Amino acid sequence: MSEQAAEPILVPRLTLSVVVPVYNERATILEILRRVVARPEVDQLVVVDDCSADGTHALLAEEEAEGWPRLRAGLRRELPEIVLLGHEVNRGKGAALCTGFAATTCDVILTQDADLEYDPADYEKLLAPIQDGRADAVYGSRFAGYPRRVLYFWHSLGNKLLTLVSNMLTDLNLTDMETGYKAIRRDFVERMVLRSQRFGIEPEITAKLARLRARIYEVPISYSGRSYAEGKKIGWKDAVSAVWTMLRCALVDDREVDDPLHATLRRMSALDRYNAFLFETIRPMIGQRVLEVGAGTGTMTAFLADRDSVLATDYDAQYVHQLDRRFEQLPNVRVQRLDLEGEMPEGIRDRRFDTIVCLNVLEHVADDRGAIARLAALLEPGGRLVVLVPAHPRLFGTMDEAVGHHRRYGRGEMSRLMNEAGLEVESETYVNATSTAGWYLNGRLLKRRAVPGLQARFADMLVPVYRMERRMGLPFGLSAIAVARRRAEARAA
């Protein structure tokens, strides 16, 4: 009997929004828009006029009022949705792109300059790596493909130097960071905090994608550059601004300003020595079939990746997406969303684990008693639940409130909750006693909302002290580690 060929898996086509920032492009704007709407990949076109002084906006407004007749002429497809926006004052390319991004509705967002330097015929190549699931963002490289118009040597060298500096700061190996063709998944655009108003937007987008661990691909594109006499606008001042933007993005994570939890997670993930010490402390309790609850950015998941199977979970969909991208090459690591306050999702509730690792999670859960009971039910007989929680209620302050803590745990409180869930407590110990004074100072006295970065890095240097504390068995610490085993006779709830 001949084997039947497997039916191909049909992946729904991703929809595409094209954002066109415009400034003084009256001569070329209708032609480039005509080429854009002619592409079958385009579902939405967002045009943002940045207060042009040459009549561009009046021309576009007239076309819009008449139903875009010059775009419809000769069009062999239905006209996609067109959104025309404008700025009352000139703010720059970055501002125009941000305005356009906010108006998009499709799965993928692609940037398109308003001149004729870039050819929309390349859209299919730009979208392919995203459509087949390989990429989160795709750059069109002017230096990796042909044909391209031969123009200024020094301008080309400047582009390559800017790309080199960007690569050094982001640890990427792009050939063309300044390209005007960037296709990015919508969920990544929504997660970026973009502040650049002018041409610094290009290195800022690249830096933010690198920080988000986006999978970036490059494809060669054709390029017909124009001279300054033909309307080219970027100059040496923009290059200086781009370098400043790259340095700012390398040193500052803009999300930290508005998101204390993100700031704390990012700073803690960078504490390599402390995280290694923490894993060293719990390593003897960890088996081979592990459920990790609250994996965050994957700091502990990386230590667990040598186990037979690891299911890394988090409540935040953005972190789930980041985890999925970070560990996609490891067949023993799976990623799934899990809300401890809801029902156990399919793929988790029917499984049994020999270890559940739950670090810095229960303090975020309103019903921690119910959460522990649900986790206990997922353990196989003899399996262990390993929990790390913030200790000592008197340390509760503004930093706890800012990151969403409901509580800090008193002595023996976690053991009591585990016993109520039918688990047999093996140990409850404290770690990081040295940092309790700093937490009290920042959270209770100075009313800060996030751990200062310099203090966090200093704490990372104190790992030898933390090891000494562990040997001494101090009865207090910034955090408590509780370990409990499911009794052999216990039954799932």
The residue ranges of DSSP E strands in 253-308, in sequence order, are 289-293
Strands 182-185 and 108-111: antiparallel
Pick the CATH number of 16-252 from 3.30.2020.10, 3.40.50.720, 3.90.550.10, 3.40.190.10: 3.90.550.10
DSSP letter, residue 442 = I
Assign 438 to helix, strand or coil.
helix
Determine the pLDDT at residue 493. 44
Q: Residue type for 429, please?
A: T
Put simply, whether the predicted model's pTM sits higher than 0.75 gets the answer no
340-348 long-range contacts (CB < 8 A, ≥24 apart) are: 340/293, 340/315, 340/365, 340/371, 340/374, 340/375, 341/365, 341/366, 341/367, 341/370, 341/371, 344/374, 344/378, 348/291, 348/311, 348/313, 348/378
Tens digit of pLDDT at every position of the chain (493 positions): 444 544 444 568 999 999 999 999 999 999 999 999 999 999 999 999 999 999 999 999 999 999 999 999 989 899 999 999 999 999 999 999 999 999 999 999 999 999 888 999 999 999 999 999 889 999 999 877 666 555 556 656 777 888 888 889 888 889 988 898 999 999 999 988 898 888 789 999 999 998 888 889 999 998 876 444 544 455 557 667 777 888 887 777 666 555 666 666 666 666 789 999 999 999 999 999 999 999 988 999 999 999 999 999 999 888 898 898 789 889 999 999 999 988 899 889 999 999 999 999 999 999 999 999 999 999 999 999 999 999 999 999 998 998 889 999 999 999 999 999 999 999 999 999 999 999 999 999 999 887 777 777 788 889 999 999 989 988 899 999 999 999 876 444 4
How many CB atoms lie under 10 A from the CB of residue 466? 21
DSSP assignment letter at 467: H
Which amino acid, one-letter code, is at 470? R
Encode burial over 10-31: b for 16+ CB neighbours within 10 A, e otherwise. Answer: eeeebbbbbbbbbbbbbebbbe
Could you tell me where the beta strands, DSSP code E, fall in 322-434? 333-337, 353-359, 379-390, 423-431
Dihedrals phi, psi of 121, to nearest 5 degrees: -60, -15
pLDDT of amino acid 149: 56
Secondary structure tally for the chain: helices H, strands E: 20, 14
What pLDDT shows up at residue 91?
94
Enter the CATH code of domain 260-486. 3.40.50.150
Q: What residue spans define the domains of the chain?
A: 16-252, 260-486
- Tell me the two tokens of residue 61: 């407004």
Contact by Cβ (8 Å): 414, 462: no
Provide, for the chain, the percentages of residues in helix, strand and coil under a 3-state DSSP scheme, each rounded to the nearest 5.
Answer: 40, 20, 40
Pair 63, 30: CB distance under 8 Å: yes
pLDDT of residue 3: 44
